[in-house]
Amino acid sequence: MNRLRLWLLAVGGAGLAALLVAACLDLPGFGGRHHPYGDRAVQASLARHTANTISSVNFDQRAYDTLGEMSILFAAVLGCVVLLRQARDEHRAPPEPAEVARPVRRYALLVLPVALVTGLYVVAHGQLSPGGGFQGGVVAATALHLLYLGADYGALERVRPLGVYETSDAVAVCAYLVLGLASVLAGTAFLANTLLPYGTFNTLSSGGAVPLLNAAVGMEVASAVVVLLAHFLDQAVEIEEEHGS
């Protein structure tokens, strides 16, 4: 049985490898000059005063795709919440606080605000310099978990009312939708970036609706990651099975 499976894998893998190599040899060469979509995307981004072209593609030219990405994230978090809920045959046992060496504890408490501010900075400058809602949101959410790493789980639970994060997750997705619908009400296409003035190139308020959509994504990602990690942490640290069941 196992030998048969390995043989099947070897044959399939060899076939796939041959096809992939043939495809690679026929792809346009690495580092070529011909990028028609890229050139047009850069022009469109500059016409709308967005300095970071990737943000412009994500939140302006392909904003509808980002809505899909957001709903995937939202649905995945929902799935994790359902899968990792406390079952009937389980109970919660608050963990004993861990002994953390003092320098580590101090470092965690010192870096936590720095990392939060960095996350906000990355979100806020999404339309100018590299960064954006997703990156900044993950950084801010990870920063919060320094409390678990550097102190103990109880400290994290005190600053993390889960309901607030679940609500803000949903609110952020709704905000994105409302911004899209606003442009429909104004008489253009869904999520078309024509409602707001484009502003001065390379300032925080440039790019029309891009900064707003960016902020909505940042809020969604940050709260989604917090909710996700909360359920994993609950499972790993607090929830225990009843013995003898």
Partner 1 sequence: MADALIVVVLLLVAASATAAVAQRDPARQALVLSFLGTLLAALFTVLQAPDVGLSQLAVGSALTPLLIMLCVRKIRRRGRSKEDAR
Partner 2 sequence: MSTVMHVLPYLVAAYVFLTGCYGLATSRNLVHAVGCLAVCQCATYVLLLAVGYRDGATAPVFSDIAPGSRPVVDPVVQALTLTDIVVGATVTALLLALVLQIAKRHGTVDPDELRELRG
Partner 3 sequence: MNGWILAATVALGGGGAAALWGVTTGPPARRVIAQNLTTSAFCPALLLLAQGYGRPAYVDLALLLALLGPVGTLVFARLLSDDLSAQDASAWGLTWTAAVLGAAAVVALCVAVGPGRAMVKLLVIGVLLIGGNVIASRALAGGFRGVRGG
Binding site for partner 3 (CB under 8 A): 95-101, 103-104, 107-108, 111, 114-115, 118, 122, 129-131, 135, 139, 142-143, 145-146, 149-150, 152-153, 237
Q: Is 42 exposed, middle or buried, given 0-12, 13-18 or 19+ CB atoms closer than 10 A?
A: middle
Residue 7 or 232 with smaller CB distance to partner 3: 232
Q: Are 91 and 242 in contact (CB under 8 A)?
A: yes
| Beta-carbon count within 10 A of 9 CB | 10
d(CA 193, CA 47): 12
Based on the shown chain and the rule CB under 8 A, indicate whether residue 54 belongs to the binding site for partner 1: yes
* Least distance CB 130 / partner 1 (angstroms): 4
* H or E segment and range at residue 10: helix 2-26
Based on the shown chain and the rule CB under 8 A, indicate whether residue 125 belongs to the binding site for partner 1: no
Residue 202 or 235 with smaller CB distance to partner 1: 235
Residue 193 contact among partner 1, partner 3, partner 2, none, beta carbon within 5 to 8 Å by kind: none
d(CA 60, CA 114): 30
Based on the shown chain and the rule CB under 8 A, indicate whether residue 66 belongs to the binding site for partner 2: yes
Q: Which of 39, 65, 69, 240 binds partner 1 (CB under 8 A)?
A: 240
Q: Are 57 and 206 in contact (CB under 8 A)?
A: no
Evaluated on CA atoms 193, 194, 196, 202, the torsion sign reads positive
Alpha carbons within 13 angstroms on the beta-carbon side of residue 78 total 9
Based on the shown chain and the rule CB under 8 A, indicate whether residue 244 belongs to the binding site for partner 2: no
Residue 58 or 168 with smaller CB distance to partner 2: 58
Residue 102 or 245 with smaller CB distance to partner 2: 245
* Least distance CB 137 / partner 1 (angstroms): 8
